[in-house]
Structure 1
């Protein structure tokens, strides 16, 4: 079996930059818990520990475990090493799972993380480099979990600090009207999280697990992709204060996905296809032009549209529920 291409922080200077970006440093009082995904050789792990952070290192490659475990033994509780893979967290299967696949419930229980209310402070800072082959799927899985308050988000507003490709960063932060890159994923992340660019680093700065020592930099023609971007994704405190609840959020995800499946389609046609009574009146009330293309609506426009449709009878229709369920089931991870 070909191993998944992985990248590691191996340069001490980059490790110090990441540590500063994560805002962990020696200070009185309880220190934030940092969950480091796939630490590999442990260069960043040591930098985080030296700064005073408490670290849980979640490592899936058994070749790296002995060094990390030996470091764990020497520290008296500041570091906990767990055999597991964050990028195979909470698989969509029933029954027990085999390591390195891991369940967030067991993981957080073993490291003493308890669930906190949604509006409480961020309980854990998570750091990782999303593997490029899994990047798009992982961003979808995480955003679904966020809206459902499932997986890691059952424990509160987990702060993700992830290196993602420059290309995907451009998509997550795209503006309305940018037809090639303004997508459903864009709207869902912008509505759900504050997105902050912390640092950009050339691909060549990272160590890979390729035996050839190659960099395997993905090619991109449509968008710049010369860097990995360290992006902080912090769930919004007020996400579930309006008509959005984790119980109806699948409907919002469906609405956004359907509207942006064809970016140049008109929003009025989409509403009419859902047999919405007097779609023109609704758009007038929301001050959205009738001829507006779905790609031109701002993320907050989609939220306002969702609120209005929640208050109409559209989302109570059984056919709509069936379509939502079918859409969610068809997500192929």
Structure 2
């Protein structure tokens, strides 16, 4: 493992600061700095962007982002034990790194960031999906971010990019693909991490579209999709009966058979259904 900067190897950093990964925080550390730099490169050109990183831990991806030229990195770290290690990185990179000790689910980073903004993170497993859904469902679109380069459990990554007809296809695929281009860019085995998790991981890159792929009211689409996939084994005329009293009329208007099931329905049809439902309100 060659170095990407003049700071100590990550194994030494972890030993020095006694940073054993905490399961309660969903921590699994990537120690290969060549790999973290490779992940950083998936975020695209960083020289003219601020980067938001969630859960930097000992700073492997942080160093990758900075060494790849990020204009500035704002790292949100909940674990106080990691702060001294991150401060070392901040000192070495001439003020381009700002570290804030906070819970990412309760912290608004926007006052600390200047557009254009990218988000790049080896997300803690226990909050990754919730953060992604928040970033995909802001009140206004386009969002504050240009792109997301995020590591998930491979199962979650496959749900984000899934197509109709697959078991992985569901609400997460609809939310992601309605407003962004999403693709898996790197697969990672458990052995890449310390400690090795029980599952494989993958990095997903999502680029925000200037406007949604098909017109629909976000709240209505979300309600329709949630109801459809909450009972995905049922026919849509049954799973959606609580969405509207005349749901079969709306399904017909959207070109959907009432006997179809949620996993058979594409994004365009779900958006058409959401427009029909919204039109009666």
Structure 2's unaligned 5+ residue stretches are: 1-21
Q: 2:59 aligns with which of 42, 47, 50?
A: 42
Distance 1:273 1:25 in 2: 46
Is the 2:55–2:123 Cα contact (8 Å) retained in structure 1? Answer: no
Residue-by-residue CA offset, 1:22-46 (whole Å, 9 max, x unaligned): 22466xxxx2111222222223323
Find the counterpart in structure 1 of residue 4 from structure 2. Answer: none
Distance 1:202 1:81 in 2: 29
Structure 1's unaligned 5+ residue stretches are: 91-102, 115-122, 209-214, 219-226, 317-333
Is the 2:142–2:208 Cα contact (8 Å) retained in structure 1? Answer: no
Is 1:234 matched with 2:207? yes
Is the 2:220–2:278 Cα contact (8 Å) retained in structure 1? Answer: no
Q: What is the TM-score normalised by the length of structure 2?
A: 0.79
Higher mean displacement: 228-237 or 261-270: 261-270
Superposed CA RMSD:
2.9
Deviation at 1:307, TM superposition (A): 0.9
SS of 2:76's equivalent?
strand
**Structure-2 change in CA distance of 1:35 and 1:145 (3 Å):** closer
Find the counterpart in structure 2 of residue 76 from structure 1. Answer: 94
Find the counterpart in structure 1 of residue 192 from structure 2. Answer: 205
SS of 2:62's equivalent?
helix
Residue-by-residue CA offset, 1:130-177 (whole Å, 9 max, x unaligned): 223x15xx4245325532438xx8962452211111111222222223
How many residue pairs end up in the alignment? Answer: 259
**Structure-2 change in CA distance of 1:309 and 1:15 (3 Å):** same
Is the 1:170–1:181 Cα contact (8 Å) retained in structure 2? Answer: yes
Is 1:216 matched with 2:237? no
Is the 2:40–2:120 Cα contact (8 Å) retained in structure 1? Answer: no
Q: What is the TM-score normalised by the length of structure 1?
A: 0.68
Distance 1:173 1:241 in 2: 17
Matches within 5 A, 1:1-333: 3-24=24-45, 31-53=48-70, 54-86=72-104, 89-90=105-106, 103-104=107-108, 107-109=109-111, 111-113=112-114, 123-132=116-125, 134=126, 138-144=128-134, 146-149=136-139, 156-178=144-166, 180-208=167-195, 215-218=196-199, 227-239=200-212, 242-244=215-217, 249-270=218-239, 272-274=241-243, 276-277=245-246, 279-280=248-249, 282-311=250-279, 313=280, 316=281
